């Protein structure tokens, strides 16, 4: 069977950037009345971290359709990776995918077959981040005109990101520079990288058409920080890196976040863009949809 998902993570991310998808998300949130309280927003971030075999946006779609879902996968993944199949009459769940409007996935409780691993969510884990893995990210950033600079500083200064030269027309590329404290442990460096890239893809540095980044630089400092930290929380958690500021994020969300403050779409989209840039996204495999027979 031909694999049609080799470039799935990048294509999947592109499919989440249309106005139609943004409208869909806004309507889902309005109709379901989800994430209108701080705890609901934090629960969403925790769920996206656990369901790491789907892009953050698709993980949210699954939670909207079936709150309390513990794990889901496509019929092909269940069959090839776990030796399981959807039960007869099982109700599928919908996600977006790049080769058609939607794809079908199934909740773990709607499948039968071989015994599951003790921690099925970790099946798609990427492992711990070390210095070698960190160095492998540098050329990936360079391809997107983001220069990586190591600097020497104390523990209280982690990093930053800024525009070096902004593109003046569509033919030029905006140049960025990201600073990472070389004295921190690898996990802290990775968390800093995810946080600073979060600022970029959230539009806090301004728009960038080539990177599909919106203009959102007018947001206040606190709003920008909680959004970037939300992105880092997802990227780190989905890659087995314990984020040192998890307590900070929990406290901030519990006390300050409301549905009027948080742009859930932008946070989930940015997390997916960071994973795609760093080549950390785990593709979900699907069978080719059956072609409809042509009528003579």
Using the predicted structure, report yes or no on whether residue 189 has a pLDDT greater than 80: yes
pLDDT tens for 156-169 read 889 999 999 999 99
pLDDT value for 50: 84
pLDDT tens for 7-48 read 555 555 555 555 666 666 666 666 555 555 567 777 788 888
Closest CA relative to residue 229, chosen from 203, 253, 212, 207: 253
Give the pLDDT band of residue 3 (cuts 50, 70, 90). very low
Separation of alpha carbons 150 and 36, rounded Å: 40
pLDDT tens for 208-251 read 999 999 999 999 888 898 899 899 989 998 888 876 555 556 65
Using the predicted structure, report yes or no on whether residue 151 has a pLDDT greater than 70: yes
Give the pLDDT band of residue 4 (cuts 50, 70, 90). very low
pLDDT tens for 265-293 read 889 999 999 999 999 977 778 776 655 44
Can you give the three-state secondary structure of 263-282, one letter per residue? Answer: CHHHHHHHHHHHHHHCCCCC
Give the pLDDT band of residue 261 (cuts 50, 70, 90). low
Work out the mean pLDDT of the chain and round it to a whole number. 81
Q: Cα dihedral angle (50, 77, 93, 264), rounded to 10 degrees?
A: 40
Q: Could you say which DSSP state residue 118 is in?
A: T
* Of 143 and 185, the one with more pLDDT: 143
Radius of gyration of the chain (CA): 20
* Burial readout 203-215 (b: 16 or more C-beta within 10 A, e: otherwise): bbbeebeebebbe
- In this prediction the pTM is 0.79
Give the pLDDT band of residue 123 (cuts 50, 70, 90). low
């Amino acid at each position: 069977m031909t694999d049609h998902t080799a470039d799935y993570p990048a294509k999947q991310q592109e499919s989440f950037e249309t106005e139609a998808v943004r409208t869909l998300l806004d309507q889902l949130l309005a109709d379901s009345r989800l994430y209108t309280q701080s705890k609901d927003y934090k629960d969403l971030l925790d769920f996206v971290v656990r369901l790491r075999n789907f892009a953050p946006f698709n993980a949210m779609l699954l939670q909207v359709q079936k709150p309390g879902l513990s794990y889901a996968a496509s019929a092909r993944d269940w069959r090839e990776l776990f030796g399981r199949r959807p039960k007869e009459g099982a109700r599928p769940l919908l996600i977006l995918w790049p080769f058609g409007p939607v794809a079908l996935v199934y909740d773990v409780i709607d499948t039968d077959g071989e015994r599951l691993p003790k921690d099925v969510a970790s099946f798609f884990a990427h492992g711990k981040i070390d210095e070698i893995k960190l160095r492998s990210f540098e050329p990936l950033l360079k391809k997107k005109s983001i220069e990586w600079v190591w600097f020497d500083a104390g523990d209280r200064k982690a990093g930053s990101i800024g525009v070096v030269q902004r593109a003046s027309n569509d033919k030029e590329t905006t140049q960025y520079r990201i600073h990472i404290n070389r004295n921190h442990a690898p996990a802290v460096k990775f968390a800093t990288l995810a946080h600073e890239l979060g600022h970029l893809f959230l539009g806090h540095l301004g728009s960038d058409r080539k990177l599909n980044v919106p203009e959102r630089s007018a947001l206040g400092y606190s709003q920008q920080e909680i959004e970037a930290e939300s992105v880092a929380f997802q990227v780190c958690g989905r890659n087995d890196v314990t984020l040192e500021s998890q307590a900070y994020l929990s406290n901030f969300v519990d006390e300050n976040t409301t549905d009027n403050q948080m742009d859930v779409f932008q946070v989930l989209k940015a997390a997916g863009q960071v994973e795609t840039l760093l080549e950390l996204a785990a593709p979900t495999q699907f069978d080719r949809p059956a072609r409809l027979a042509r009528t003579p």
